[in-house]
Each structure stands twice: as C-alpha cells, then as structure tokens.
Structure 1
Amino acid sequence: MPFYQNINAHTVNGKRTIERLLKLRIKLDNEIPQKHLEKNLLIASWNIREFDSPAYGDRLEEAFYYIAEIVSKFDIIAIQEVRQDLKALKKLMRILGSYWEYIITDVTEGRQGNKERLAFVFDTRKVKFGGLAGEVMLPPFKAKDPDTGQTIYQPVKQLARTPYLCGFKAGWADFMLSTVHILYGTSAANDPRRVKEIKDIANALARKAADKFEWSDNLVLLGDFNIYSPEDETYSAILQAGFEIPPQLQSLPSNALQNKFYDQIAFKVKPGRFEATNNAGIFNFYEVVFTEQDEELYIPAMGDRYYTTSRGNERQNKTLYYKTYWRTYQMSDHLPMWVEVKIDHTDDYLRSKLIPPQTGDEVTDAPSV
C-alpha cells in the first residue's frame, strides 16, 4: 500500500483525506480484481490532467494520496500528460514507495507537444522492465523515383506527441506496451488529423507486432485516443489494423462526464499466452472523492476564481467551475481504464507435454547416469 504516515489526522484536511481514502479503498476492492503474483496482470491507462500544472491552482496534498491509492491497485499503468517538470510524478512515486519505478519519454517539442511526457509506472514486485524502450517514429514512405526508377524513401509527418513503446516481463509473460496521446484537433468526432494519427500508429505497430524479430509476440496499444464514440472512424481505425478491444471496454465512456470514449486498451497478441480475462472496466473515483456534494468543502481551496468566473446563473456557473474545471485539475478529466490479463499458463503447458509425440519422435526414458 502507499505510505500515508505524513497525513495529519488532527487537521480538517487530514481527517477528510483519511475518511475519503477509506471509502476509496472499499470501492477499489469491490471493483478491481486482487493482484496475484503469478496468476494475473492488471494493466491500466490514465490521462492525469496536466500532471502537474497550476492552471487552476496547485494540486492539493490529498489529491496525490487519492491518485497514489488508485495507481497502487494496478501492476503497471500508462500515464499521459506528465509535464516537463517532474515534481508531480516524483511526489507520486514517494507516496507509492520504493517498490515502484517509472520509465518516461523526453518532452515532445513544439506547440502541439504541449510540453508533455508519456510514462509507465509499475510495481517491481510483479513487473520487470525487459530492456526494450523507444519513442515510436513512423517509417518513411517508400516510392519510385519517376526519373531513375530507383526506390526512394520520403519522410512522413510524425505524430504531434511521439508514442512510447516499452517491453516488460511478468510471470510467464513478456509483452510490449505502447502508449499514445493522440492529437485532439477540432471538436469533431472524426477530425481528419486525429483519424490519420490513429491509423498511422495502429498500422505501424501492427506491422511491428507481426515482425518475427520483434522483442515480444504480445503488443498492447493503450492511451488517450480522443475518440468520441465506437461508431466513429477513429475507433474503427484501431480494429482495422488488427487490434482487438476487450468487449467489456467497448461500451464504457472514459471521460469524467462519461459521454466520450477517449481512452482505449487494444490487444494484438499471441493466442493462448497473453489473454485478457472477462475483467475490465473504468474506475469512477468521483463517486467517493471530490464528489459533487463536496463542492462547498473546497470553496476555500478554489479561492476568488470560484466567485469571479460566475456569470448569469451564478449558482449553476459556480458548480460548473468546480465540477468541470477545478476538480478535474485535482484528479483528472479522464477516468482510469483497466484490464486484467491471465499470465499463468502452467496447466496448459503441462497438458501439452502429455500429447503423444509424432511418429519418429518417440523418446524413451534413459537410465540416469
């Protein structure tokens, strides 16, 4: 469990933090499968909004404890929107404790990169870094020179935020995770640039997964795709590349307002060796922390902006400021998405050894020497 010794139960904020943590732990235990050292692997993806940015005031101490408690329930979690300044990530790691480690990208340059990093945070008691790490670049376009007929390679436009690919091991399984934060663009379901980014990265990774020399046969593509709906072209682009999305996740919106399907976890894996179970879902932490009913408790923390941003229907706009903006910069405007994977295939392996050998392959027990 995370380290909570610095919470002061004799203060109003400390007492509230402890009470909310107890409720959060009950909800997590009821909804997330228990971690088992050898049997299962719990993978999650979470866009933690501008982790960390003072856009709506600094994150409260209690928010870090809630985030740590949620992260600790998984074995490995891909986090998007880690900022250039790593103070928030390092603070999270201190609360999680020494068993936990992270691997991050450099900052993607340019305005569209938004000074963001991508990160994998993992429990080293279960998950080991496998040695593979790289930021994914789209391959050049292969064409013929019209004058000479020779093959030429033309560079292509890269994604606004470079995807991250790492290899890990857990129990019997080795696997690659590639996390993305796809360009949002315009507020349209099928923004052409967003569609192109998803198609490009899904197809590039599908080809990589099929390469016999690749580090692992198992590839999981996960992150913030900014997908509006499963009926959109943005969603079908993942499936058309040969990835499979667990059925349990296909009808679950992942943003805080629960009306968009921004986040996805998709598999392209070797059959029988890295199987998603029937357990997968979205965890809505707003049902127990920073709830709608908690608005008045946080007025002191929200400060003057809680009052000065109100126009027209003052009560409605104050609530909008708390619900849609301020609290999403404390926790996030995304909910963590997770899936359980079976990694213990011992029984299948032992049964396979009982299959009679093919003719000519018979072996006999030899006396020990």
Structure 2
Amino acid sequence: MPFYQNINPRSAEGKRTIRNLLLLREKLKAQIPEKLEANLLIATWNIREFGTHKYGGRTAEAYYYIAEIISRFDIIAIQEVKEDLSALKALNTILGSRWKYIFTDVTAGTQGNGERLAFLFDTQKVRFGGLAGEMVLPPFQTKDPHTGQVIYEPVRQLARTPYLCGFKAGWTTFILTTVHILYGSAAANDPDRLKEIEEIAHAIAKKASDQYEWSNNLVLLGDFNIYSPEDQTYQAIKTAGFVIPDALRSLPGSNVPKNKFYDQIAFKVKPRRFVPTGKAGVFDYYQYIFTLKDEHSYADEMGSAYLTTSKGRKRTAAEKTRYYKTYWRTYQMSDHLPMWVEIKTDHADAYLAAKLHSGQQSTDKRT
C-alpha cells in the first residue's frame, strides 16, 4: 500500500486526489487479483516520458495515481524512463521502502530518445536474483572461402538496448527482458521494427535451451509498437518460440483508444513450472481519473497553454479539449495503459505428490 501522508486533505487538489484514490482502489481491487503467496502478478507499462518536464511536468496528484496502480503488481517493467531519475525516485518514495528498482543507463543517439528501461518490484514477493544485462547482438560470422578464416562482421545494434534481469519469487526463478522497440514509420509492418523484434525474440529464445543460463523461464515484455495481432511484427514473437497466453491474446489494445497492440507479454518457459492462471488484463485508468468530464477542474494546473496557443491565439473549446485529452493528461499519466498477467508460483502440492509417488515406487521395488 502506498504512503498517503503528504496529501493535504484541506486543499481542493488534496480532496480530489483522495476521492479519486478511493475510486481507483475500488476498481483496481475489482479488476486485478489479490497479491498472494501462491501467485505472481507481472505487468508492463510505458509511462510516457517518465521524468520529462513537458506540459508543466507531472503533478503530485499524478504520482499518487501511478503509485496506486503499480502497487497492485509484484513486478513491473517500465519503459520511457528519462535521464532525470527524480520521477522514478519520487514514485518509489510513495510506494515505500519495500519497493526497489533497477534501471539501465541512458540510451544514446536520436533513436534512443534519451530513455532508460527499468524494473520496479515488491521485495515482499520478489527478489533480485543477481543477473542483469543489456542485450547486444553478436557479430555476423562468415568464413573466407580461400583460407577458411572466420570473419566477424559487425551488425547494426538495436535503437534501445533490451534489458534483462533475473528474479526469484517463492520457488520460481525467471528472467524478464523488457524492450522498447523502434517505432520507425507509421506502418503496421515497418521493416526496421520487424527486424528488431525478430532479432530480439530469437536471441532471447536461444537462452531457453542453454544449460548454463541462470533460469530457463524467459519472459519477453514491453512496448513492441505492434499495430495488430495479424501483423508480421506480432507473428515474429511466436515464430521465435514464445507463447502469448489466450488470456493476453483476447485483450483489447493497450493504447488509450485501445486499437493498437503496442504492449505485449510473451513466455518461453518450463512446462508446469511457470504457468499463467488465465487471468490477465489492460487497466484503463482514464475511466476513473483524468476523465473527459474532469477537463475544467484541471484548468489551473494546465495554465496559460490550455487557454492560448504558442502563437498567442485563444484556443477554441474543441482545441482546449484536445489539449487536455491528447497531450496534458497523457503527460500526467501516459498514452499507454498497463498490461498485466497472473502466474501460478505455488507448485508444492504437485511436488509433494511426485515425491510421495517416487518414495512409494522405491518401497515397492525393495519389497
């Protein structure tokens, strides 16, 4: 449970925050399973430019809503964490000391957009396993046809380096690899985007059969910028051997209009050891907070930019609504919705039954 002691119940903003938190908690409880010893709730969320100061920066109110949502999960992959880590630190302060985070350095280059990738996890349920790394594609190898000498040719690296970490929950170990795939052109199967997904999925999939890998339970999750399940970009994940459970495949899109399937969670795991329960979802917080009906109550927070354009022209009512709906509120929360899935982690009954069966067989052989 996040810490709320700094909310001022006497201010208009504080009262609004408290009322909205009560509503948000009610809806989260109804839609997301309770955190138990026997389950693991994994989520992914692209939090739009988390650490930016655009559109006035995030309000304290927004941090409470983000923390409330994240607190419902055991571990969450976050994309678009910016160079300035003050947002991540502020979020962690609200979540409390039992929450920890791990993040990458800043991705250099224009395509990297000055972003980091991060994991936030509840240490009451999840422990960091020691494995952490950014994925670099190996060089392409050929042989000189005359000398037989191996020639190494460098390959184009990914715009944003995927981040993989090993974690433990109960008896279960698993590796999460979070990605933010290149968007490229506004086309369903942009060739550069497709190539990145293919390369990442195949490189991570190889680890499933490596006897020296830290864990053979592999989870690939994050923002893939996939338009539709029918696209080649979506199929590339499955071709590499990853499985997207039925509960996730039946979900609506994870962008705010719910018509794009940008975010995904895919598995390549040991049979019967890392099992989705069939419960998954995309949580649409805009049904309860920063709703369209709330526009005018945030006029003061939006400031003069809500009233006039950068050229000094007064905005029309429709332009004001667009500013609030499409821009300001998405820089408070995000233009993506969090996606989650529940995993069964308690396999004690099956283990004990197998152990009893094994012991019985040994007794039968002796007698």
**Partners of 1:127 and 1:260 in 2: CA distance:** 31
Q: Is the 8 A contact 1:133 1:167 kept in 2?
A: yes
State the Cα distance separating 1:209 from its structure 2 match: 1.8
**Partner residue in 2 for 1:354:** 356
State the Cα distance separating 1:110 from its structure 2 match: 0.8
**Partner residue in 2 for 1:281:** 281
Write the letter of the residue equivalent to 2:139. Answer: P
Paired residues in the alignment total: 364
**Partners of 1:218 and 1:363 in 2: CA distance:** 35
**Partner residue in 1 for 2:330:** 328
Q: Percent identity?
A: 66
State the Cα distance separating 1:143 from its structure 2 match: 1.3
Q: Is the 8 A contact 1:282 1:338 kept in 2?
A: yes
**Partners of 1:12 and 1:302 in 2: CA distance:** 15
Q: Is the 8 A contact 1:246 1:280 kept in 2?
A: no
SS of alignment partner, residue 330 of structure 2: helix
State the Cα distance separating 1:85 from its structure 2 match: 0.8
Write the letter of the residue equivalent to 2:39. Answer: N
Q: Is the 8 A contact 2:308 2:315 kept in 1?
A: no
**Partners of 1:235 and 1:42 in 2: CA distance:** 23
**Partner residue in 2 for 1:25:** 25
Root-mean-square deviation (Å): 1.8
**Partner residue in 2 for 1:342:** 344
State the Cα distance separating 1:363 from its structure 2 match: 6.7
Scaled by the length of structure 2, the TM-score of the pair is: 0.96
**Partner residue in 2 for 1:317:** 319
**Partner residue in 2 for 1:154:** 153
Write the letter of the residue equivalent to 1:115. Answer: G
Write the letter of the residue equivalent to 2:3. Answer: F
The yes-or-no answer on 1:224 pairing with 2:261 is no
Write the letter of the residue equivalent to 1:272. Answer: R
**Partners of 2:21 and 2:75 in 1: CA distance:** 21
**Partners of 1:104 and 1:364 in 2: CA distance:** 55
**Partner residue in 1 for 2:70:** 71
State the Cα distance separating 1:153 from its structure 2 match: 2.2
**Partners of 1:356 and 1:133 in 2: CA distance:** 37
Instruction: Label 1:359 to 1:148 Cα distance change in 2 as closer, same or farther (>3 A).
Output: farther
Q: Is the 8 A contact 1:79 1:121 kept in 2?
A: yes
The yes-or-no answer on 1:45 pairing with 2:47 is no
Q: Deviations over 1:50-82 (max 9, x none)?
A: 001112111010000000000100000000001
The yes-or-no answer on 1:116 pairing with 2:115 is yes
Q: Is the 8 A contact 2:207 2:216 kept in 1?
A: no
**Partner residue in 1 for 2:294:** 294
**Partners of 1:227 and 1:192 in 2: CA distance:** 12
State the Cα distance separating 1:151 from its structure 2 match: 2.1
Larger helix proportion of the pair? 2
**Partners of 2:315 and 2:105 in 1: CA distance:** 44
SS of alignment partner, residue 43 of structure 1: strand
Scaled by the length of structure 1, the TM-score of the pair is: 0.95
**Partners of 2:200 and 2:226 in 1: CA distance:** 15
